[in-house]
Amino acid sequence: MSDVALDDRGRLTLPKEVRERYGDRYRVVQLPDGVKLVPVADDSLEALRDEFADVEKSADELREEAREAALDEAGQ
């Protein structure tokens, strides 16, 4: 873990090893106890494809399963 500080213009410089590992774009998420930097992929669609490469069901099948699970959880 590294300590970083804002400059006089409010900019934050991340350490080189962090930028090399996670990239140059981040989403700032405000949490009750602080903030979190979440890396943003250069190509979001490609990142999604990589993340779900091992999923064998179609989007429609996944949507229907999620719908059924939500209905079961709601008691319907």
Show me where the domains of the chain are located.
1-40, 42-75
Residue 39 exposed, middle or buried by CB count within 10 Å (0-12, 13-18, 19+):
middle
H or E segment and range at residue 35: strand 34-39
37, 5, 36: which is closest to 19 by C-alpha? 37
pTM above 0.75, yes or no: no
- Residue 22 and residue 39 in contact, taking contact as beta carbons nearer than 8 Å: yes
Q: 1-40 architecture in CATH? A: Ribbon (2.10)
Which tens digit of pLDDT belongs to each residue from 37-62? 999 887 878 877 887 888 888 889 98
Strand 26-31 to 34-39 pairing: antiparallel
Q: Which helix (H) or strand (E) holds 21?
A: helix 16-22
Span of 4-8, 16-20, 44-48, 64-68 with lowest mean pLDDT = 44-48
